[in-house]
A and B are shown apart, each in its own frame.
Chain A
Amino acid sequence: MPIIRTRDLQKVFRSIKRRPGVGGAISALFSREYEDKVAVSNVNVSLEAGEMVGYIGPNGAGKSTTIKMLTGILVPTAGTIEVAGIVPHAHRQQNAVNIGVVFGQRSQLYWDLPLRESFELLRAIYDVPRDRYRENMREFAEILDLERFLDTPVRQLSLGERMRGDFAAAMLHDPKIVYLDEPTIGLDVIAKEAIRDFICRVNRERGTTVILTTHDLADVERLCERIVLIDKGTVIYDGPIERLRTEYGTHRTLIVNLADSYPEFSIEGADLESREQNSVRLRFDRRTITAEALIRRVTERYSITDVAIVEPDIETIIRRIYVEGYSVQPATSPA
């Protein structure tokens, strides 16, 4: 049985219609005309317990609206949601016990107080038994290396330290599900890696279900097997990352270092993507020509010193989907 299930989930925001200018602003004070903006429509997603899913989409796609409905703070306009057997917005507080949240841009820690005191407050809020609290604290302090700054006021922590604190805070009450919204934004490589390790470990060892919203696709590639792509309020892809890669990763890039400057360089079956002095980038469709054949074609005509093949990364693939839209048979013409 899925731990999260939404059916035909929809959210429409209604705002007063506004004409431009001062006159428009004044008439808006008295206007009864409304404008409906569909933020999320017909979202059907279901997650099994213990899954880690990347919830991806461009800005304004409806990601945080969906997360807000899942956390119970936003009431859907239509459709149903069930999270761990309950309807979140109808039982907000019970739902809150079941979930943990981390927002990269917003802290739930007490700004003026030492980190430790925020944890103690959360222990009281979630009624975590003392021994469980001690156990979790010991484990998190070890994995996230919190010990050094447990007694430092949160406002004096670096972003990396604060985020580690926020992660411990979200997991202290052993939530079944955690929602992570841009959890690694602004972090350096080492801090990012520490956070990713922590997410991985929590998912593996505790069976916590994780929904990860991010623009950093490296997070998703590292952590999630499955992604849900949302754009303009609707789910456009839901499945394994690998499938996206095979379906969309039709084009690769061959980088060739030429031994001489050939001003008129061109090759049939591949497009010249860019050229910097003697280094050229060739984009080719692996369904029409193999890398081997292409290299042969190049070496027949030109003398070269080095070659390299670049696989498309998930970021390039998703950027292409945002621009072109998702279809099962993607267009073969290069962008």
Chain B
Amino acid sequence: MIATRPYRFRLEPYIEFAKKAIARESTYRFEVFTSIGSFVVRVYLLRMVWTALYARNAAPEGLPLHAIITYSTVALLMGLVLDIDQTRLLHDHLHDGTIATDFMKPINVPLYFFSDGTGEVLFHAALIFPAILLSLFLVHIDVPSAFVLVMFLISFILGYFVGFFINFILNCIAFWTLEISAAQLILTWVTDLFGGELFPLVFFPLAVQNIIFALPFAAMFSTPLLIYVGQIRPERYAEVIGVQVAWVVVLAGASWVMWRFGARRVVVQGG
């Protein structure tokens, strides 16, 4: 007779999931080159656009040309990581039905998707270093003090979790619809525009800004970026980072609810 051990939670499988995701991503070498290539092109284009715009218009307060170019370049660097849909695997597994075999394994299934996404993101985060080097040939990037840099990193990581949970919620919709590509497209536009990735949110009229700051997207790009370029002063750090933490908590809660209802649909309706 075969002896089986009682199930207990171990971290090892989740570390392995992340490692396998890194290995998987590295098999798509062409992807790596295209993402670096398109990054370089976008840095160059944005430098051109901002230089042309600033030549004809007055700079907004506190955002001279070198600051806006720094803003855009750092935004593109962040985008290398934040623009990844790290929980796409959830949607894929719902779409092709492999979610059933995921549930047949002795694992915590949402944590599995989290680990896989983390591995994917870590792989792409490694691209940030060559991307910085390449962008230095094209533009000058302002570097703030070490304290600001640390606060930026904290805010960036919180922004990452905001993005992670937004993606997770979106991918959970596939529990009901199986297909989410239209919603994803909308999300990409909304993040580009209202997240502050394409341009600083101060360019929006005040009334629109109020609406934007009521949405979670600004917590992804805008907050860390404005900390970086010094638009948000240290006395407001507690407030803006507090808002980011609040968004993480709210979105994590919403993700949990979505997962619970979605997973129940699988166990009751058979996927």
Contact = CB atoms under 8 A, between A and B. Distances in A.
A101 to B, nearest CB: 5
Interface string A197-223: 000000000111000000000000000
B98 A176 contact: no
Interface in A250-271: none
Contacts of A113: 20, 23-24, 27
5 contacts: A91-B7, A125-B106, A174-B2, A176-B2, A208-B2
A117 B23 contact: yes
Contacts of A101: 101, 104
A121 interface: yes
Contacts of A99: 104
A68 B98 CA distance: 13
Contact of B267 (A89, A93, A126): A89
A125 B107 contact: yes
Interface string A76-117: 000000001000010111101111010100101010110001
Nearest to A12: B268
Interface stretch (B9-17, B151-159, B189-197, B244-252): B9-17
A94 B106 contact: yes
A1 B100 CA distance: 29
B4 to A, nearest CB: 5
B105 interface: yes
B10 A75 contact: no
A73 interface: yes
B56 interface: no
Contacts of A49: 1
Contacts of A108: 98, 101
A153 B28 CA distance: 13
Interface string B244-271: 0000000000000000000000111110
Contacts of A117: 20, 23
A302 interface: no
Interface in B11-37: 12-13, 15-17, 20, 23-24, 27-28
B60 interface: no
Contact of A153 (B6, B27, B270): B27
Shortest Cβ-Cβ A-B pairs, 3 listed: A96-B106, A124-B16, A73-B103
A113 B270 CA distance: 29
B97 interface: yes
- Among A89, A93, A94, A108, max chain B CB count under 10 A is at A93
A128 B28 CA distance: 30
B270 A74 contact: yes
Interface in B41-80: none
Contacts of B103: 71-73, 92
Contact of A206 (B2, B17, B24, B100): B2
Contacts of B107: 93, 96, 125
A127 interface: yes
B5 interface: yes
Contact of B106 (A68, A75, A126): A126
B98 A106 contact: yes
Contacts of A208: 2
Of the four ranges (under 10, 10 to 19, 20 to 34, 35 or more), the interface on chain B belongs to: 20 to 34
A125 B10 CA distance: 9
B19 to A, nearest CB: 9
Nearest to A75: B267
Given A124-B16, A175-B2, 12 more contacts: A49-B1, A73-B103, A92-B103, A96-B104, A97-B4, A101-B101, A110-B24, A113-B24, A117-B20, A125-B16, A125-B106, A207-B1
A125 B13 contact: yes
A246 to B, nearest CB: 34
A206 B97 CA distance: 31
A110 B20 contact: yes
B2 A127 contact: no
A65 interface: yes
A94 B7 contact: yes
A65 B5 CA distance: 27
Interface in B83-118: 96-98, 100-101, 103-108
A74 B266 CA distance: 7
Contacts of B108: 93
A207 B7 contact: no
Contacts of B101: 101, 103, 106, 108
B60 to A, nearest CB: 46
A2 to B, nearest CB: 14
Contacts of B17: 121
B163 to A, nearest CB: 24
A126 B13 CA distance: 8
Given A110-B24, A208-B2, A71 B104 contact: yes
Nearest to A124: B16
A265 B225 CA distance: 94
Interface string A58-74: 00000001001001111
